[in-house]
A and B are shown apart, each in its own frame.
Chain A
Amino acid sequence: MKTFNRYLFAAILLAASSAHALEFSEVQAAKSSMVFGYKQMNVPLSGKFAKFAIQAHFDPSRPGAAQAKIDIDLSSIDTGNSDADEEVLGKLWFNTKLYPTGQFVSSTIKALGGDRYEATGKLSIKGKSLDVSAPFTFKQDGAYAIFDGSFKMNRLDYGLGEGLWADIATVANEVSITFHFVASSKK
């Protein structure tokens, strides 16, 4: 019996460690989302980017080795206000003709304890690259990893809304980005 228990223990340990060693790298685009919130005349509005591509790998046991690169198709924006969807593609906002893609590339991903982590890296939009940090949570649900996080940015830091739109009393400077990524491990 003792021997049996020892084998059982070893088996559980093995199973647990192999589950832990899963590396999540296949992002499920259809299950993932990237939304943003902003204020216009102090009215909270939300929008989203429908198209983005993610190359990433994340192993919760080795967060230091994790990496993420996210390419956002900026013209896939839905501002939540159909009037604005066309306007924000223009020169004063994203200028998607010249800068069609927004990109985040992680430099470090560190564990904050529990299921909390933080990704730091460069966010590049409209020719400007700035450091951002985004805390996120990692949850494992069967074969899937679920990443939820958010961070705030100032639109004017990236020249989003120039000229007459630079007035932050009408459209607030602060934009919050909330992401929900679902990934599976490579089989």
Chain B
Amino acid sequence: MNKHYTSFAIALHWMVAALIFCAFPIGLYMSDLKLSPLKLQLFSYHKWLGVTVFLIVVIRVIWRATHTPPALPDSIAVWQQRAAHGLHHLLYVLMFAIPVTGWLMSSAKGVPTVYLGLIPLPDLLGKDKALGHLLENIHATLNYLMLALLVLHVAAALKHHFIERDDTLARMLPFLKK
């Protein structure tokens, strides 16, 4: 079995990482801005980033369903391997749920999503102020949950690379292989 992910899977992983790295702070910053053209632009860019994450995650799920990821080093305790799997599953759930709640929230707030300013997404919900507010809270809470899980995800990868000195991180960054 391969010791690292395929270059396709690696590319998608880092693309999503980069997109989330941009979308998260934009989302945090734009919400508290006073209304201005910049605010409207940031909202649109944030939504485009979210839709892109969603589309790539669909491809990643298809990849996972049709490929076996490289095994973790045997030196890792079974419970830790299970924890890693569980964390990955949760991250996949959030990478779906966060864009979807953002999309629904946009519809409920009466501002449809037009991907890249070109492709209008359908509104699954009608305009509803209370529902929009609720979805905003859910969207934000899921994001903070994702942030916490990502801190664990990154910390675990770094711990394996720098403390245990195994090839866990090299599965996603083959040039680090020891």
User: In the complex, are the beta carbons of B40 and A41 less than 8 A apart?
Assistant: yes
CA distance A167 to B35 in the complex (A): 14
Q: Is there an interface contact between A43 and B111, defined as CB atoms closer than 8 Å?
A: yes
> Which residue from B35, B44, B129 sits with its C-beta under 8 Å from A43?
B44
Nearest residue (CB) in A for B116 is: A42
Min Cβ gap A26→B in Å is: 32
| A171 near B118: Cβ-Cβ < 8 Å | no
CA distance A171 to B40 in the complex (A): 9
Main secondary structure of the interface of A (DSSP, over half): mixed
Complex Cα spacing A138 to B21, Å = 56
* B6 CB within 8 Å of chain A: no
- Please measure, in the bound complex, the distance between the C-alpha atom of A87 and the C-alpha atom of B37, giving whole angstroms: 12
- With an 8 A cutoff between CB atoms, is B27 at the interface? no
Interface-forming stretch among A8-16, A77-85, A99-107? A77-85
Across the interface, which residues of B come within 8 angstroms of A84, CB to CB? 35
Q: Pick the contact of A87 from B35, B41, B118 — CB < 8 Å?
A: B35
Q: Distance in Å from the Cβ of B178 to the closest Cβ of chain A? A: 48
> Contact at A42–B118, with CB atoms within 8 Å?
yes
Bound complex: CA A42 to CA B48 (Å): 13
Is the Cβ of B118 less than 8 Å from the Cβ of A167? no
Number of chain B interface residues as a range: 10 to 19
Chain A's nearest CB lies how many Å from the CB of B2? 43
Contact A170 B41, beta carbon cutoff 8 Å: yes
B117 interface residue per 8 A CB criterion = yes
Q: Considering the chains assembled together, what is the distance between the CA atoms of A14 and B109 in angstroms? A: 55
0/1 string, A136-173, CB within 8 A of B gives 1 = 00000000000000000000000000001101001100
For B37, B111, B112, B118, the residue with the greatest tally of chain A CB atoms inside 10 Å of its CB is: B37
Assuming the A-B contacts A41-B117, A80-B110, are A171 and B35 also in contact, with contact meaning beta carbons closer than 8 angstroms in the complex?
A: no
Is A114 an interface position by the 8 A CB rule?
no
**Closest CB of chain A to B88's CB: distance in Å?**
34
Residue from A42, A45, A81, A164 in contact with B37 in the complex, judged by beta carbons closer than 8 Å: A164
A81/B114 in contact, CB under 8 A: no
Q: Does A113 contact B (CB under 8 A)?
A: no
Q: Are B37 and A43 in contact (CB under 8 A)?
A: no
Cβ contact within 8 Å between A165 and B37: yes
- Is residue B36 within 8 Å, beta carbon to beta carbon, of the partner chain? yes
Residues of B within 8 A of A81 (CB): 109-111
- Interface residues as binary, A56-99 with B (CB distance below 8 Å gives 1, 0 otherwise): 00000000000000000000000011111001000000000000
Bound CA–CA A167/B82 (angstroms): 53
Chain B residues lying within 8 Å of A40, measured Cβ to Cβ, are: 40, 111
Chain A min CB distance to B154 (Å): 33
Query: For B37, what are the chain A residues with a Cβ–Cβ distance below 8 Å?
Result: 164-165, 167, 170-171
**A82 to B128 Cα, complex, angstroms:** 12
B114 touches A41 (CB 8 A): yes
Are A43 and B36 in contact, with the CB atoms below 8 A? no
Nearest B residue to A167 via CB reads B37
The interface of chain B, by Cβ under 8 A from chain A, is 35-37, 40-41, 43-44, 109-114, 117-118, 120, 129
What are 10 A-B residue pairs whose CB atoms fall within 8 Å in the complex?
Answer: A41-B41, A41-B43, A42-B118, A43-B114, A44-B120, A80-B110, A81-B111, A82-B129, A164-B36, A165-B37
